[in-house]
Homo-oligomer: A and B are copies of this chain.
Amino acid sequence: MEPMSAEQLTAEVVDRLDGTPNPRLREVMQSLVRHLHAFAVEVSITDEEWMQGIAFLTATGQKCDDVRQEFILLSDTLGLSSLVDLINHAGDVPGATEPTILGPFYVPNSPERAFGASMVEFDDGGEQTIVRGTVTDVAGNPIAGAMLDIWQNSANGFYAVQQPDVQPATNLRGIFRSQADGTYEFRTVRPQPYPIPDDGPVGQLLRDTNRHPFRAAHLHVKVSAPGFVGTTTHVFDAESAYLDSDTVFGVKGSLIRSFLPDADGELVCAMDFALRADS
């Protein structure tokens, strides 16, 4: 009797999934099996490597808790999160601001703050800066009353949510609105590069692959307005380290901005946002 081939086994597993009632789940699972098997065959995974993979995935799941999501870190560092973002939002882009990943530090319901107000509630020596610009449609017409939900880290490298005993909960986050002419403005400190949490299996994988755990310095911005497709994006500091090697592959050239002194000697980051109409 002829032993089964890898192709036959893969086909048998795919066939076994034919009875999946939900057609989308069927499509996803059958594609997953084909690609998973193709990977195992391509590199001829050994018994020992298979067991190492099982142990790695188990440790990754067991590192997760209420405030730590190691599988998202794994997805981020393998570029999968950015790929999913690109797959789902690339079509949004013509003329509109490019999106990038949400990241693990977003906290909803930030305080509403006035035009030009500061988000700084904790002073650890950050470099004071103004961020300003205009929210428009893709033709450049101003959007009044757009909501800008902003969050970023402090000079010490941490987000407020990571340091509940050090930083006020609402430090360096806030909701701002564009004015009648589409302009927005706020005061903050310059964001800092920071390492993703690297004391778990994902950190070990980064070390084993000779990669650093750092993200380039950035502010997070969710921009939305009635009648428009909202976007979740970053503004990267053009002088930051790691722009070419952001460990989660979140940097896009169109989102990099300089922080420059204005006529009054104040540091300013100018960033405009363009939203696509909700069709």
Residues of A at the B interface (CB closer than 8 Å) are 1, 3-6, 9-10, 12-13, 16-17, 19-22, 25-29, 31-33, 35-47, 49-50, 54, 57-62, 64, 69, 71-72, 75, 78-88, 90, 93, 98, 208-211, 245, 249, 252-254
Contact = CB atoms under 8 A, between A and B. Distances in A.
**Top 4 closest pairs, chain A to chain B, by CB:** A61-B61, A13-B79, A35-B39, A19-B210
Contact of A31 (B28, B42, B58, B80): B42
A69 to B, nearest CB: 7
B79 A211 contact: no
A210 B33 CA distance: 16
A245 to B, nearest CB: 7
Contact of A87 (B26, B29, B41): B41
A35 B38 contact: yes
Q: How many copies does the complex hold?
A: 2
Given A20-B208, A83-B10, A28 B54 contact: no
Contacts of A38: 35
A224 to B, nearest CB: 16
B249 A79 contact: no
A66 B78 CA distance: 29
A16 B58 contact: no
A58 B69 contact: yes
A239 to B, nearest CB: 19
A87 B40 contact: yes
A80 B40 contact: yes
A96 B266 CA distance: 79
A93 B5 CA distance: 12
Given A25-B208, A84-B40, A87-B45, A54 B69 contact: yes
A215 to B, nearest CB: 14
Contacts of A50: 75, 80-81, 84
30 contacts: A1-B254, A3-B98, A4-B86, A5-B90, A9-B83, A9-B86, A13-B78, A13-B249, A16-B211, A19-B210, A20-B209, A25-B208, A25-B209, A27-B43, A28-B45, A29-B209, A35-B35, A35-B42, A40-B80, A40-B87, A41-B83, A41-B87, A50-B84, A54-B72, A57-B57, A57-B61, A57-B71, A58-B61, A61-B62, A62-B62
B79 A12 contact: yes
